[in-house]
Amino acid sequence: MQEAEIKDFWNRNPCGDAQVELNRQDFESFFKKYDAFRYKEEAYILQCLDQISFTDKRVLEIGLGQGADAEQLIRRGARWSGLDLTPESVARVKKRFALRKLTYEAVKQGSVLEIPFEDASFDIVFSFGVLHHVPEIKKAQREILRVLKPDGELIVMLYAKRSLNYLFSISVLRRLGLLGLYASGCRPSGVYGQHVANAHGQGLWRYLQMNNFIHRNTDGPLNPYSKVYDIAEVQRDFPDFRIVRSYKRFMHAPPLPVGWLPLAKALGWHLWVHLRPR
Ligand SMILES: C[S@@+](CC[C@H](N)C(=O)[O-])C[C@H]1O[C@@H](n2cnc3c(N)ncnc32)[C@H](O)[C@@H]1O
């Protein structure tokens, strides 16, 4: 898996563009709509951020998307710097900050595999929904260790393996749905049609294998790479860190309407992990 392929995917499909229509003539109203959507769907994010002390901390955020969380960290007092693989995300984040007159230290385009910041310069590295898209994760965590101060903290959100989404929706329901569509010879439009096309392109059984099917069911059917995590896997992939605490949030298992179920702590899709350098 080449990083260039991953960069190309995220540059063409910035996080959230599939949910909120982009308006290049009026970024202010786009960001307003995007943030309203994000923090209505995933209201718990703000509650989690409120539990973390960002005030006067030097924070590096890795993987910026539309910059919504970046704005939240700055508003919570972080001395914020950011890094994203794609020029599109970096441009949008700069646009957001300019429109909203937000103060920050730096925003750079680059990879977590080669972080363009000095050794031991951050109190917190924050990365939401990003590191599960990095195949060379052990190299990434070594780079994060390098830029963190020795008493610094890494805070990540990774997709949870022990979740209703992974264990039932993706592993069972969506595979059966695809089998049905494929067998019926139906070629629907949109996302489902892309899954059928993927299955024809790669071969049905190969496409349905979990180490392949998973990418196509987290961030759209063209997403080249995702991994899901339990705590043991986090410890294996972040060997230079020790886990301080972890918790799950966000009941999400599309197409099932499960957002209302009070089971997020047990079966939520978002696994938050706080780690410290060993
Ligand atoms: C799923 S989006 C999440 C963005 C944002 N944190 C959010 O929650 O909306 C993943 C982001 O990580 C970036 N990304 C992916 N691989 C990266 C890497 N190796 N280094 C830095 N950023 C990366 C992508 O360009 C994209 O903006």
pLDDT at 18: 87
Residue-wise pLDDT tens digits, 212-257: 999 999 999 999 999 999 999 999 999 999 999 999 999 999 999 9
Q: How far is the CA of 242 from the centre of ligand 1 (A)?
A: 23
Q: Nearest 5°: phi and psi at 41?
A: -65, -40
pLDDT at position 80 over 80? yes
User: What proportion of the chain, given as a percentage, has pLDDT over 70?
Assistant: 100
pLDDT at 187: 86
Cβ of 89 closer than 6 Å to ligand 1, yes or no, is: yes
Residue-wise pLDDT tens digits, 159-191: 999 999 999 999 999 999 999 999 999 888 899
pLDDT at 149: 98
pLDDT at position 88 over 80? yes
Q: What residues form DSSP beta bridges with 36? A: none
Cβ of 198 closer than 6 Å to ligand 1, yes or no, is: no
250: left (phi over 0), alpha (psi -120 to 50) or beta: left
Contact residues for 39 (Cβ-Cβ < 8 A; gap 6+):
45, 46, 68
pLDDT at position 125 over 80? yes
Q: Which atom of ligand 1 is nearest to the CA of 83?
A: 21
Mean of per-residue pLDDT scores for the chain: 97
What confidence tier does 120 reach under pLDDT thresholds 50, 70, 90? very high
The whole-number average pLDDT for the span 95-115 is: 98
The closest of 66, 69, 77 to 123, measured between CA atoms, is 77
pLDDT at 154: 98
Counting ligand 1 atoms within 8 A of each CB, the residue from 35, 85, 137 with the most, and so the one to mutate, is: 85
pLDDT at 59: 99
Q: What residues form DSSP beta bridges with 84? A: 109
Amino acid identity at 241: F
Q: How far is the CA of 62 from the centre of ligand 1 (A)?
A: 7
Q: Round to whole Å and give the CA distance between 146 and 130.
A: 18
Contact residues for 221 (Cβ-Cβ < 8 A; gap 6+):
191, 194, 195, 198
Q: Round to whole Å and give the CA distance between 80 and 102.
A: 10
The whole-number average pLDDT for the span 264-275 is: 98
pLDDT at 257: 96
Cβ of 6 closer than 6 Å to ligand 1, yes or no, is: yes
What's the full length of the chain, in residues? 278
pLDDT at 12: 96
Q: How far is the CA of 89 from the centre of ligand 1 (A)?
A: 8
Q: Round to whole Å and give the CA distance between 112 and 144.
A: 7
Residue-wise pLDDT tens digits, 184-213: 998 888 999 999 999 999 999 999 999 999
pLDDT at 163: 98
The whole-number average pLDDT for the span 69-74 is: 98
pLDDT at position 36 over 90? yes
For the beta carbon of residue 106, count every other beta carbon within 10 angstroms.
Answer: 11
pLDDT at position 1 over 80? no
Q: Round to whole Å and give the CA distance between 138 and 113.
A: 9
Q: Nearest 5°: phi and psi at 244?
A: -95, -45
Minimum CA distance residue for ligand 1 atom 12: 63
Q: How far is the CA of 6 from the centre of ligand 1 (A)?
A: 10
Contact residues for 103 (Cβ-Cβ < 8 A; gap 6+):
74
The whole-number average pLDDT for the span 76-85 is: 98
Q: Which atom of ligand 1 is nearest to the CA of 68?
A: 9
Cβ of 152 closer than 6 Å to ligand 1, yes or no, is: no
Cβ of 82 closer than 6 Å to ligand 1, yes or no, is: no
The closest of 43, 8, 29, 25 to 249, measured between CA atoms, is 43
Residues 155, 129, 260: CA angle, nearest 5 degrees: 100
Give the position of tokens 């569509």.
181
CA 93 to the chain's CA centroid:
16
Q: How far is the CA of 187 from the centre of ligand 1 (A)?
A: 31
